Amino acid sequence: MDDGEFLRLFHDGNLSGEEFRHRGHLRLAWLVLSKHSRIEAESMVAREIRRFAVANGASNRYDDTLTRFWVRVMGHATENAPEALSIDDLNSDRARAGWVEPDLVPVP
C-alpha cells in the first residue's frame, strides 16, 4: 500500500489493526514529519492516533508518552542526520531482508 492510501485509510478510520501496529505508528509519524515541523508533528500524530484509537474502541491502548517519544526520536533523527541510504537501496528487497550498509554516508 502506498503512503497516500495508508493516510486515507488511517484518516477514514478504515486502516486494519494489522496495518496499524508499531510499524504503522512509525510510518504515520514519518509521513507527518516529512511535511511538518517536529513540534507540529508531535501534536498532530498524538491527536490523530488518539482519535483513531477511540474510533476503533481501543482508547485504553493509546499511550501518549510513547507516541510523543517516537515522534521526537524520529524528528531528531530527520533533523540531525543526513540521508544515509539512496531511496533505491532503502526500498529494496535486500534491505527488507537484512542490513544494508549505507551508500551515501556512514552511520555510526
For 58-96, the pLDDT digits (tens) are 889 999 999 999 999 989 888 776 666 676 666 778 888
CB atoms within 10 A of CB 80: 7
Phi, psi of 57, deg, nearest 5: 65, 30
> Per-residue pLDDT tens for 1-26?
888 998 999 988 888 878 888 888 89
- For residue 49, is it left (φ>0), alpha (ψ between -120 and 50) or beta? alpha
CA 87, 90, 94 angle in degrees (round to 5)? 135
- Would you mind telling me the total number of residues written for the chain in this entry? 108
